[in-house]
């Protein structure tokens, strides 16, 4: 099985410094829906792993999060794609959980759920913590320049072997052509 893990904010949809809090603020990035459709049609299973500390901060509730994810599923479906699962961390940075990226909790959960090997498992993200979460378990970190990706690239310190692409569409094309 070919499985790819995507971060959400900054990879699939526009990121916001004040958090994406509702469906009106959840706006897909150009070509991201098409990228997911292309992956799906090429036989990839697409899953999402996203830190959602806005829940712990009281900026939105689980109903708003579910509505955002329903919108994402609907728009991806309309583009001809599918997201097979979404894992999210509802905790804040200081809660000491095992799921919040850069820890690999969500990566481990998704790999186990889909019964795939961790070695080489691709995760596409825009922040260092995304990349670290998959690198920690032997996966393939992939950075996109969208969202906070340019800042992440400029800061440096990327895990060894990190691949870098302009956006999700380009990263998806790379995976499809492997």
The 10s digit of each residue's pLDDT in 159-172 is: 999 999 999 999 99
Active site residue 130: no
Q: What percent of the chain has pLDDT over 70?
A: 100
What's the pLDDT score for residue 77? Answer: 98
DSSP secondary structure letters along 144-177? ESTTTHHHHHHH--PPTT-EEESSHHHHHHHHHT
Catalytic-role residue among 7, 15, 130, 167: 7
CA distance 99 to 40: 26
Catalytic-role residue among 9, 15, 130, 167: 9
CA distance 39 to 108: 21
Question: Averaged over 132-147, what is the pLDDT?
Answer: 98
User: Any bridge partners for residue 152, and if so which?
Assistant: none
Band (126; pLDDT cuts 50, 70, 90): very high
The distance of Cα 141 from the centroid of its chain, to the nearest Å, equals 11
The response to whether 99 counts as a known ligand-binding position is yes
What's the pLDDT score for residue 121? Answer: 98
Active site residue 9: yes
Q: Are 115 and 135 in contact (CB under 8 A)?
A: no
Query: Could you list the residue range(s) of the whole structural domain that residue 89 is in?
Result: 3-177
The response to whether 91 counts as a known ligand-binding position is yes
What's the pLDDT score for residue 175? Answer: 98
Neighbouring CB atoms inside 10 A of 103's CB total: 17
Beta strands 163-165; 140-144: pairing state: parallel
What's the pLDDT score for residue 155? Answer: 98
* CATH code: domain of residue 62: 3.40.50.1000
Which letter does DSSP use for residue 29 in this model?
Answer: P
Number of domains within the chain:
1
What's the pLDDT score for residue 81? Answer: 98
CA distance 7 to 14: 12
What's the pLDDT score for residue 102? Answer: 98
What's the pLDDT score for residue 170? Answer: 98
Q: What share of the chain is helix, strand, coil (3-state, %, to 5)?
A: 35, 20, 50
What's the pLDDT score for residue 96? Answer: 92
* Mean pLDDT taken over the chain: 98
- pLDDT digits 0-9 by tens, 29-45: 999 999 999 999 999 99
**Burial, 127: exposed, middle or buried (Cβ in 10 Å; 0-12, 13-18, 19+)?**
buried
The response to whether 166 counts as a known ligand-binding position is no
Residue with token string 């991806």: 76
What's the pLDDT score for residue 64? Answer: 98
Question: Averaged over 63-91, what is the pLDDT?
Answer: 98
Q: What are the residue ranges of helices labelled H in 9-167?
A: 32-41, 62-78, 105-113, 128-135, 149-155
The response to whether 89 counts as a known ligand-binding position is yes
């Amino acid at each position: 099985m070919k499985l790819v893990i995507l971060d959400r904010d900054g990879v699939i949809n526009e990121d916001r410094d004040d958090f994406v809090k509702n469906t009106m603020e959840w706006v897909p990035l150009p070509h991201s829906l098409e990228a997911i459709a292309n992956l799906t049609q090429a036989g990839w299973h697409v899953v999402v792993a996203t830190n959602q500390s806005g829940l712990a901060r009281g900026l939105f509730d689980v109903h708003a999060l579910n509505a955002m994810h329903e919108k994402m599923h609907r728009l991806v479906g309309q583009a001809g794609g599918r997201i097979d699962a979404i894992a999210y961390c509802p905790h804040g940075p200081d809660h000491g959980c095992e799921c919040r990226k850069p820890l690999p909790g969500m990566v481990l959960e998704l790999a186990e759920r889909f019964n795939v090997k961790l070695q080489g498992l691709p995760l596409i993200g825009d922040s260092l913590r995304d990349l670290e979460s998959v690198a920690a378990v032997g996966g393939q970190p992939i950075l996109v320049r969208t969202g906070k990706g340019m800042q992440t690239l400029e800061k440096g310190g990327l895990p060894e072997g990190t691949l870098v692409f302009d956006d999700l569409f380009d990263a998806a094309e790379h995976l499809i052509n492997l």
